[in-house]
Amino acid sequence: MKKHLLLLAAILLPSFILAQKDYSNPQISAKDIYDHLKYLASEKLEGRYTGSEGEKLAYEYMVKQFKSYGLKPAFKDGYLQSFPFTDRVEMTKDNSASLDINGKTVKLELKADYIPAPFSGSADVKLPLVFAGYGISAPKLNYDDYTGIDVKGKIVVVLRGNPEYDKKDSRFEMFSSLRQKASVAKEKGAAGIIFANGFYPANTQDKLLEFVYDQSPSIKNFPAVQVKRIFIDELFKAEGLSLADVQQKISKEMKPGSFLLHNSSAQINTGVKEINGTGHNVAAILEGNDPVLKNEYIVFGAHYDHLGWGQVGSLYRGSEKLIHPGADDNASGTVGVLEIAEKLASLKNLKRSVIFVAFSGEELGILGSTYFTNNPPVPLDKITAMLNMDMIGRLNTDNALNVIGAATAIEFKSILNRRNSYHFALSLTDDGMGGSDHQAFTNKKIPVLFFFTAMHQDYHKPSDTFDKVNTAGEEKVVDYVYDVASSIDSLGNKLQFVQVQSAPARKSGGSSKVYVGTVPEFGYKGKGFKLSGVTDNSPAQKGGLKGGDIMIKFGNKEVKDIYDYMYAMNDYNPGDSVDVVVLRDGKEMTFKVKLESK
């Protein structure tokens, strides 16, 4: 009887204490996971877009949770760390355009007849026009729309797409983006660009571009607009030609058909401004219980931002605007951080100190985590490991769990296997590259583990809702992450980072076929392309480049941003040697890099 009572007390007592503390239980539980998810992925938070009201509601919720667990703020001035980002583009009042055809002025109406491109710079020009075909300059494909024409100080008129418009996977694809065409036009000396939909492929609607910021920086002082085809056709008629015929001839002969439009000119005034926003990371800290090891840190991280109304990165193709609730991506990982924070705060059983951080700006290119690692609340060399959870809510019947970064510390694989009491079908990837916030830590040579369950058809769509999350499955995943962290903490040593050479196929760098091995510094806003690192044994490393370098020239092309760099790579083939000019500690240095194939 007594024994029973004791047992009863043991069962009742903790839950009695808990009952006074909101609804939550310090154990990692499917019930808590469900409750947190239901709020974070609710319509009220409108998809938690970086810098939005929804983001604010989400971080306020997390601050409240961290406080209720008794956790201290991780930053000097609190739980929040704000960082700047480009939020959107807006048109100013200064937008106007007109065409002068055979001495007659045709005024164009904004948004009805023409529209500035989201990457357009601001400029006011009145200049002659040159038709430059598709605006493609691809010497390696023996095709250059700029041969035989002088575009200096003129506005080029170019068609969207490429001469192989009816071919899927055209070799011209990598030269066909509008921003690249504008960049090429500027490099050739043009003072502006007008895009037009051609007559082929059959395009009866002749729709104007959507004026939506696409994460690519503007091309300074360079106006880029799209004008409706009926007006472009008038320019051709004034030369005694037809746009449809000219377009067809280019494709048939696969030869550029560029020429000066003698009888026309254009006035274009563009006013496009980038509007900055502020994103917020949220982090709390728990001191370790070992007097020495508490000076080392384990970081649990997850991004809590998502796509808002789908303004960026959405895979939804419906016409009605909808909230992208991002339950799996990544309310699930955010909740993982909360649950582990609650458990550790109640047990205080780790020797090392722990940082719990929810990043924003991940969907815009790991902006928050990059800012965090560049402005860390503790010295980076004191962080023994970063454990990232991104999309851990869809454990399937195969019990499949992916872990990336498994070889970034030699101890990881044995811990991952030993602690797998949940019978996960583990799929381990050695390197710690790509996909999510752990990359920011890999870039700083910190061992990382990135946990995620599976890709699914609701990914980046309004259908990624909380009711589809397997909360019982997520409970197991979060328990596992907790167990793995406990084993990392039980080691007497700080983990040593192992730089893993990643499989070439996963290396980034746009659609070009050459491989350099540079790792970009995301969120870098200055001039040039800033490297946060280079991959081991890559052409970049062998050539002498290193993290911190700012590339300003690639071959004979000036590099003003990451896009220029990507476009410049398109001009080369594997095996080519390229002179790369970088700024290192403010000094210009040139390195010879021998390109390899992707």
Give the interface with Zn ion as residue ranges (CB under 5 A): 329
Residue carrying the six token digits 């970086």:
50
Pairing of strands 192-196, 224-227: parallel
Q: Shortest distance, CB of residue 464 to Zn ion, whole angstroms?
A: 9
Beta strands in 248-329 (DSSP E): 259-270, 272-286, 297-303
Pick the closer one to Zn ion by CB: 32 or 464: 464
Cβ 303 to Zn ion shortest distance, Å = 8
Q: Residues 555, 529: contact at Cβ < 8 Å?
A: no
Nearer CB in complex with Zn ion: 329/564 = 329
How large is the C-alpha radius of gyration of the chain? 28
Quote the least distance from Cβ 322 to Zn ion, whole Å.
16
> Do you know the residue count of the chain?
598
Question: From CA 27, how far away is CA 15, in angstroms rounded?
Answer: 11
Report, in Å, the least distance between residue 279 CB and Zn ion: 15
Task: Give the residue at shortest CB distance from Zn ion.
Answer: 329
Q: From 241, 231, 242, select the one nearest 101 (Cα to Cα).
A: 231
Alpha-carbon span 531 to 47, nearest angstrom = 31
**What is the nearest approach in angstroms of Zn ion to the Cβ of residue 219?**
28
Q: Torsions phi, psi of 432, nearest 5?
A: -110, 35
Q: Residue 363 Cβ, how far from Zn ion at the closest point, in Å?
A: 5
Q: Which is nearer to Zn ion, 329 or 342 (CB)?
A: 329
β-bridge partners, 195: 158, 226
3-class DSSP assignment, residue 64: helix
Pairing of strands 104-108, 596-597: unpaired
Between the alpha carbon of residue 61 and those of residues 19, 334, 426, 478, 492, the distances in Å are 20, 11, 32, 20, 36
CA 255 to chain centre: 37
Residue 459 CB, nearest distance to Zn ion (Å)? 7
Residue 329 Cβ vs Zn ion, minimum distance, rounded to whole Å = 4
Sequence-distant (≥ 6) Cβ neighbours of residue 492 within 8 angstroms: none
Task: State the minimum distance, in angstroms, from the CB of residue 449 to Zn ion.
Answer: 19
Nearer to Zn ion, 329 or 339 (CB): 329
* Residue with smaller CB distance to Zn ion, 257 or 393: 393
Q: Is 582 helix (H, G, I), strand (E, B) or coil?
A: strand
Query: To the nearest whole angstrom, how small is the minimum distance from the Cβ of residue 85 to Zn ion?
Result: 16
DSSP conformation letters of 421-485: TT--EEEEESS--SSSTHHHHHTTT--EEEEE----TTTTSTT--GGGS-HHHHHHHHHHHHHHH
Alpha carbons 219 and 222: distance in angstroms, whole number: 6
Q: Which is nearer to Zn ion, 123 or 433 (by Cβ)?
A: 433
Collapsed DSSP state (helix, strand, coil) of residue 586: coil
